[in-house]
Amino acid sequence: MCCSVRFRKSAGLASRGGDACAPAEKIMTTDYVRESTSIGGDEASNAVRERFTDSQFLVFANRFVALVLSSCVMCCRRPDERLAPLYKFSYASLSNILSSWCQYEALKFITFPTQVLCKASKVLPVMVMGRFIQHKTYSARQYVSALLITMVTSDATTVSGVILMIGYLTFDSFTANWQSALFRNYRISTVQMMFGVNAFSFVLTLVTLVQQNSLSASVAFFSRHSSFGLDVLATSVASAVGQLFIFYTVSEFGAVTFTIIMAVRQALSIFLSCLIYRHRIAVRGIAGIIIVFCSIFLRIYWNRSRRRTGTAVSLQKT
């Protein structure tokens, strides 16, 4: 009973991890308008349209806000006794940066609903990565359901979009499994994980932006468009708060369970994106969504049946 309550709580909390999607899509796919008054001071003005293209700056802003939030939480709590080697966080940090970059860049080539469907296929890569990193074993039924989800969601529209989403799935699958292994091996808290990963991510993205001379360009874009700053802030805050729930879910239930929860959340993301940005989903896409969620619930049913069988066998032995 307690586990069921915790699972429902975790599912509700983890669903908030994707609340940053709507402003992120707006940032990467829409033009920001700046009113440029003509010379002479008359009332006539020319609208200047600009589109923001630096995905790395969005990653930097998200990690900075997450680092500040985790630092504040750690200062308000009693110091944790369990610690993990600091360098262990760098692996998850690097893979997290790369997955976020691929995710934002992909929005330049594919629509958000298509990206969301691709994300739903993450179950199979997470299982494969878990096999190598955590030496986990899965039943044939679990692989079949994961393969079914993957097959019906692979409908990206461009080669660049496909490559970027493959990169996202690979790096994000590694991140979830590596974090799950850290939770299991060192028993650290979710706040420790959040602080460690984002500390490395903040430094790495800052160094990259400075080296590429793109930080000043992003700041200049921010100064020209106040609405851009609000969108970045909304994305960063939602992402930071969502990280707390994500790390809690991974620590309590593991990477695969978290991935399934997030796959269910994708339906709401698709609905909101189509409603706000007027995307159209073909019949094939609608059929794919139905098959995805049928596969997910079938997987849950199989897991529940297996646990009941195991419980019945153990009771008979006693």
pLDDT single digits (tens) 111-140 = 777 777 676 666 667 677 777 776 666 666
pLDDT > 70 in the chain, percent: 59
* Comparison of pLDDT for 115 and 178, the residue scoring more: 178
Look at the pTM and tell me if it is higher than 0.85. Answer: no
Tokens 């979710």 belong to residue: 190
Segment 144-155 shows an average pLDDT of 55
Tokens of 142: 């679990």
Backbone angle region of 41, left / alpha / beta, with phi > 0 → left and psi within -120 to 50 → alpha = left
- Condensed to tens digits (0 to 9), the pLDDT of residues 285-315 reads 667 667 666 766 676 666 667 766 666 555 5
pLDDT for position 44: 45
**For residue 137, how far is the Cα from the chain centroid?**
25
pLDDT for position 300: 65
User: Which of these, 167, 127, 131, 119, lies nearest to 257 by C-alpha position?
Assistant: 127
pLDDT for position 318: 60
pLDDT class of 209 with cuts at 50, 70, 90: very high
Tokens of 204: 């790495």
Given a contact cutoff of 8 angstroms between Cβ atoms, the answer to whether 186 and 82 are in contact is yes
Residue 46 — φ and ψ, nearest 5°?
-115, 130
Segment 228-235 shows an average pLDDT of 90
Tokens of 15: 């669903």
Segment 162-171 shows an average pLDDT of 85
User: Which of these, 199, 195, 60, 177, lies nearest to 128 by C-alpha position?
Assistant: 177
Tokens 């094939």 belong to residue: 284
